[in-house]
Each structure stands twice: as structure tokens, then as C-alpha cells.
């Protein structure tokens, strides 16, 4: 027997469904029919309007993060979605996550070598140990120098000098230039007799916190590589300004940060780590190697996001050269595991037969057999799984913007003791850079740097041709010109398509020139070797103040 309130609930459900159904078409029409470009497009700075002072520290467990990413599929499962923080010209606005540097502007080799550094390393004299190292396997601890500055020290492990600390330095310069927030790192030396233990320093061991003692300090030095003169080489990372509140996940948003509204798997700069990670072999890409810090800007608390530890790069891990499979296979991958299981190992993985360049100060790294699309971090990363061709092109443009001199300048910051290591690492990074350009510029129409001048001349660049990775398209470029109604999003062709062999195409003579007018140019390249280039990139200009302003670039129109 049905009770009365059951019927009432049923009625409410029906009515609610009716209401939602009746409003859906309206919402859809309004969404589709609204203006495509808003007055402030393209956005150059992602606004952070809310006070995030109350964000609380959280700890993302290593094991739970690993299991969730290795055996689950965290985050949004919808595939082929456009990056949600990309602006209308397919770029990433500056934000608390990312700052446009290389490719967006000219960077000198000296700037790259300087990276995030603002001053010299730790002040000489006595260093006071205030905390043991709580994360990661490399030996280290936190000190305060005589000027009161706090530094996180990381040592090379015993028997494996230079490589781990050098990798941190070099990688932090590269990732800084790429646009990520980085810790200011220096190479320094330390002598045990110059370390004083702060009486308040404690260490957590076996479920309890106890005072940090000289024996604990001895253990750190015992585990570390010692120089012939008794000193120890360290990487010193300057403590970040602000209040650390733990790392960030590569999916979802932080529940207590009001400004964090774009799911991390849909942030382009995080998706792009598929390319940047491949270039540098940043295999240890986990939440535990990131850090969020609350800073105060304009009277409000803002969470700034750091790729804090980019040390497991090139050919090295924190304690030893990387294993053969790192960069090629997740630490657990069902398909290859079963293949090897049933074939007695005769399904030989690719990584087992590749020739590495091995150097004691670099580890195992190579550039000749590098396949960026096949590259993998140790554990799946949700944001990387969402990377589309427009995301990887965006990233590849930045990698390709590094000149040989840029790369060498970054590598030289590693303070390698063997000059051959500098040469080797530089040459491998150059090879991998070029391979990235070759692969990702071919996956999608890569035309970029669009401009329409007053004479009606459209200029653009083909980065693949510019980098001499491919010949100019055999049959040139073709442009279909349209008047674009921003309100209705309807296009109306103007004249016949124009074409040309170079990155300069003339607009039809009857191009409208009234202020507020929008023009859409669908631009493609006809080159049999690059079928992806045949799909046009849609470029939008708005007439304002007597000039054409680029307001839109769509590379994957109709996809997500």
C-alpha cells in the first residue's frame, strides 16, 4: 500500500523533471546564441577575485595518490574537452599557476640561467638546522642561514654524486622558462661542523615526535656523497614566500580555494606536462612534488601553485640513475604486464633495447630513439590523459622556442664537474626538442602568430617550416574569408578564397572595415606529407580603433 507522502514525492519529481525539461531548450539557445567573443577577449590574466586566506593545509598521501592514479581514473572522464583555461586565441592567460615567458616574449640565455633566482644562495657561516626533510627519499634537511633566510637542502646520495642535485638546478630553469612557478635553487656546499641543530627541531619516527639529535644529523651525512675535502655538495632551495598548504592534485579542484574553479585536468599548462615532461623526462610527476602557497596580493589571500620538485629528470632519480623502464612505461601497466607474463618475457619492451647515453653525472638519457607521444611518467597523471592536439601544440611551440644557447645556459647551471656532461645533456635536450617539434607540429594545423594589417595583409607563421623541420607546403596556404556575426555566430563568405606560398595572404578587396566588425579566416596548408594541416585553423579578428585585433583562434573546431 502506497503512503500519501510517497505520491507527493512522485508528483514533485515529475513536476521538477517537467520544469527542467521545459527550460533546457531555452538555456541551450541562450548559450549558443550568446556572443562568441566578449569585450575583454582574449583574456591575458586569469582573475582571482576571492579571498583564499582561509585555505587550510592538507597532506596528499603518497600511497593514496599512487593507487588512485595507477588503478583508477580520477577526475573528469569526458574526453576531448578543450582546455578550460585557454583563452579565445588558444593561449593560456597568466595566473597563479602559470606565467607566459618563453615563446610569449624574447628570453635571453642569461634570463634562463637566472631562472627564478632573486639573490645568491645561502649566506656563508653557521647554518641552523630547523627541520628534518619530511618528503622524498634523498637525504636533506631545512636550515636557517646567518641572515635568517630559510633553505631546503638536498644532498646527493652516497656513491652517486652530482647527478641528482644538478638535475634539480637545470630542470628548475627549464620549467621556470616554460612558465611554471619554481623554487629558487642554488648549488652550495656544507660542512658538518657548520651545522647547528636548533633545540626546537624535532623528527617524527615510529609514530612519535622526538628531538632531532646529532645522531640524526650524522645519518643524513652518512647517506650523502662526500667531497674529497670533507664538504658536501647540496642543492639549496629558498623557502617560498607565503604559507604552504600542501600540494595540488592533477585533477579536480581544491575544495577550500574559492578561486580554483577550473578542474586541474582541464588546465592547459598541466595537460602540457605531457610534452614538457617528455622533453625533460620528468617521470616523478605526483601531487607530492607540487606545493601550494597562500600569499597576499592586493589585500587578498591567493593560492600560488608550484611545481616544487622537478628533480627526477633527464637520466636520474633521487638516489640512482633511473631504471630502464622509466619514461617508457608506468610502474604498473596491465597490457605489457600480461604480455610479458604469458610470453615468458619474450614480448620485449622497447625500453629494453634502446641505447642510452650513460654518464655518471646525468644518468641514463637519450635523444635518438625518443618518441614523445609514447613517453610516460611513473604513474598516470589525470591532466596528461586529457591532453589534446591543441594542448600539445601549445606546449611544443614553447619547447621549440628554446634555442641551443638557451638550453646550454640552463644546463650549465647544474654545476657539473665534467664538461662532457654539459655537452651530452645539451645535445640530448636539443635532439628531444626537435623531435617534439617534428611530432606535434604534424598532428594538427600548427599555423600561428596571426596578424591582419591595415592593408588587408594576413601574416602568420608555420613553426614547422620556420624550424626547418619540414618544407613549406607543396601547394601553399589557402584562406577562406568570412564576415562573422558575433551575436548569432553565423558566418558569411567574403569573395573567393585566397592562396599563396608564404605566410602572407592578401584579403579580399571588399573586406568590411567598420568598427565592431568581426572577420573569420579559415586557413589551411595543402601538404600531402602533413594531412593534419589540411584542416583549417579558424582565426577571428575584430575591427576596433581602425585596426584589426586578433580575438580568436580555433584549431579543433567542432571537437569538444
Site for another protein in 342-401 (CB under 8 A): 344-345, 348-349, 351-353
Total residues contacting another protein by CB under 8 A comes to 76
Does residue 134 interact with another protein by CB under 8 A? no
| Shortest spacing between CB 317 and another protein, in angstroms | 12
At what angle are helices 273-280 and 419-440 packed, to 10 degrees?
150
Report DSSP state, residue 81: P
Does residue 300 interact with another protein by CB under 8 A? no
Options 133, 226, 300, 340; binder of another protein; rule CB under 8 A: 340
Does residue 19 interact with another protein by CB under 8 A? yes
Contact set for another protein, span 487-526 (CB under 8 A): none
Residue 40 or 146: the one with the smaller Cβ distance to another protein is 40
End-to-end CA distance of the chain: 49
Residue 105 or 208: the one with the smaller Cβ distance to another protein is 208
Cα angle vertex 269, ends 266, 273, to 5°? 100
Going by C-alpha positions, the residue among 258, 277, 398 that lies closest to residue 327 is: 277
Options 192, 258, 497, 508; binder of another protein; rule CB under 8 A: 258
Options 12, 420, 457, 474; binder of another protein; rule CB under 8 A: 12
| Shortest spacing between CB 380 and another protein, in angstroms | 13
Residue 487 or 490: the one with the smaller Cβ distance to another protein is 487
Calpha distance 506→518 (Å, rounded): 17
Contact set for another protein, span 202-231 (CB under 8 A): 204-208, 215-216, 218-219, 222
Q: Which stretch binds another protein (CB under 8 A): 28-36, 138-146, 405-413, 415-423?
A: 28-36
Beta bridge partner(s), residue 307: 290
Does residue 34 interact with another protein by CB under 8 A? yes
Does residue 255 interact with another protein by CB under 8 A? yes
Calpha distance 497→526 (Å, rounded): 14
Spatial strand order of the sheet with 504-506 comes to 448-452, 457-461, 504-506
Options 256, 358, 471, 510; binder of another protein; rule CB under 8 A: 256
Does residue 7 interact with another protein by CB under 8 A? yes
Contact set for another protein, span 148-177 (CB under 8 A): 158-159
Options 1, 4, 110, 241; binder of another protein; rule CB under 8 A: 4
| Shortest spacing between CB 170 and another protein, in angstroms | 25
Neighbours of 455 (CB within 10 A): 7
Does residue 335 interact with another protein by CB under 8 A? no
Contact set for another protein, span 49-78 (CB under 8 A): 49-51, 54, 56, 58-59, 61-64, 67-68
Spatial strand order of the sheet with 127-132 comes to 185-190, 232-238, 150-155, 140-144, 127-132, 195-197
Would you state the cell numbers that stand for residue 33, as one nine-digit string? 546564441
Does residue 192 interact with another protein by CB under 8 A? no
Residue 254 or 435: the one with the smaller Cβ distance to another protein is 254
Going by C-alpha positions, the residue among 101, 127, 221, 115 that lies closest to residue 169 is: 115
The DSSP-derived string for 192-260 is GGGEEE-TT-EEEETTEEEE--HHHHHHHHHTB-B-TTS-EEEEEEEPPSSEE-----SSS--TT-TT-
**39 three-class SS:** coil
Does residue 297 interact with another protein by CB under 8 A? no
**133 three-class SS:** coil
Does residue 404 interact with another protein by CB under 8 A? no
Q: Which stretch binds another protein (CB under 8 A): 9-17, 114-122, 177-185, 409-417?
A: 9-17
Going by C-alpha positions, the residue among 452, 454, 552, 440 that lies closest to residue 503 is: 452
Amino acid at each position: 500500500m502506497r503512503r500519501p507522502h510517497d505520491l507527493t514525492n512522485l508528483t514533485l519529481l515529475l513536476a521538477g523533471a517537467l520544469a527542467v525539461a521545459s527550460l533546457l531548450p531555452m538555456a541551450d539557445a541562450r548559450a549558443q546564441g550568446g556572443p562568441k567573443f566578449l569585450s575583454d577577449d582574449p583574456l591575458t590574466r586569469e582573475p582571482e577575485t576571492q579571498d583564499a586566506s582561509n585555505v587550510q593545509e592538507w597532506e596528499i598521501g603518497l600511497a593514496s595518490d599512487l593507487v588512485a592514479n595507477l588503478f583508477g581514473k580520477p577526475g573528469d572522464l569526458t574526453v576531448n574537452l578543450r582546455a578550460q583555461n585557454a583563452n579565445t586565441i588558444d593561449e593560456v592567460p597568466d595566473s597563479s599557476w602559470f606565467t607566459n615567458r618563453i615563446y610569449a616574449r624574447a628570453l635571453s640565455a642569461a634570463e634562463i640561467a637566472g631562472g627564478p633566482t632573486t639573490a645568491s644562495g645561502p649566506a656563508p657561516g653557521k647554518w641552523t638546522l630547523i627541520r628534518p626533510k619530511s618528503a622524498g627519499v634523498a637525504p636533506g634537511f631545512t636550515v636557517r642561514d646567518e641572515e635568517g633566510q630559510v633553505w631546503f637542502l638536498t644532498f646527493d646520495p652516497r656513491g652517486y654524486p652530482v647527478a641528482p642535485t644538478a638535475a634539480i638546478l637545470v630542470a628548475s630553469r627549464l620549467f621556470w622558462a616554460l612558465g611554471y612557478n619554481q623554487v629558487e635553487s642554488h648549488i652550495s656546499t656544507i660542512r658538518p661542523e657548520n651545522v647547528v641543530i636548533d633545540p626546537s627541531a624535532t623528527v617524527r619516527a615510529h609514530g612519535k615526535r622526538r628531538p632531532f639529535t646529532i645522531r640524526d644529523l650524522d645519518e643524513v651525512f652518512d647517506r650523502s656523497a662526500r667531497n674529497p675535502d670533507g664538504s658536501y655538495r647540496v642543492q639549496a632551495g629558498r623557502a617560498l614566500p607565503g604559507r604552504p598548504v600542501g600540494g595540488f592534485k592533477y585533477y579536480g579542484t581544491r575544495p577550500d580555494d574559492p578561486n580554483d574553479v577550473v578542474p586541474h585536468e582541464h588546465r592547459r599548462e598541466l595537460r602540457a606536462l605531457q610534452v614538457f615532461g617528455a622533453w625533460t623526462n620528468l617521470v616523478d610527476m605526483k601531487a607530492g612534488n607540487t606545493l601550494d602557497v597562500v600569499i597576499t596580493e592586493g589585500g587578498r589571500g591567493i593560492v600560488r601553485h608550484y611545481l616544487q620538485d622537478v628533480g627526477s629528470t633527464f637520466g636520474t632519480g633521487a638516489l640512482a640513475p633511473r631504471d630502464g623502464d622509466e619514461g617508457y612505461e608506468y610502474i604498473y601497466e596491465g597490457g605489457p604486464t600480461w604480455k610479458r607474463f604469458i610470453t615468458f618475457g619474450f614480448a620485449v619492451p622497447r625500453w629494453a633495447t634502446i641505447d642510452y647515453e650513460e654518464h655518471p653525472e646525468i644518468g641514463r638519457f637519450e635523444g635518438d630513439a625518443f618518441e614523445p607521444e609514447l613517453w610516460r611518467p611513473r604513474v598516470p597523471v589525470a591532466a596528461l590523459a586529457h591532453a589534446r592536439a591543441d594542448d600539445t601544440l601549445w606546449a611544443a611551440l614553447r619547447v621549440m622556442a628554446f634555442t641551443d644557447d638557451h638550453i646550454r645556459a640552463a644546463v650549465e647551471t647544474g654545476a657539473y664537474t665534467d664538461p662532457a656532461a654539459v655537452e651530452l645533456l645539451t645535445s640530448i635536450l636539443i635532439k628531444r626538442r626537435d623531435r617534439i617539434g617534428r611530432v606535434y607540429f604534424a598532428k594538427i594545423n600548427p599555423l600561428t602568430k596571426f596578424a591582419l594589417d591595415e592593408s588587408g595583409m594576413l601574416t602568420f607563421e608555420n613553426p614547422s617550416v620556420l624550424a626547418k623541420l619540414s618544407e613549406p607546403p607543396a601547394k601553399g596556404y589557402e584562406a577562406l574569408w568570412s564576415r562573422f556575426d558575433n551575436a548569432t555566430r553565423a558566418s558569411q563568405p567574403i569573395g573567393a578564397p585566397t592562396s599563396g606560398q608564404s605566410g602572407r595572404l592578401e584579403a579580399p578587396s571588399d573586406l568590411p572595415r567598420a568598427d565592431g566588425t568581426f572577420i573569420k579566416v579559415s586557413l589551411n596548408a595543402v601538404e600531402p606529407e602533413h594531412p593534419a594541416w589540411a584542416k583549417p585553423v579558424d582565426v577571428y579578428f575584430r575591427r576596433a580603433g581602425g585596426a584589426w585585433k586578433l580575438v580568436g583562434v580555433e584549431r579543433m573546431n567542432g571537437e569538444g
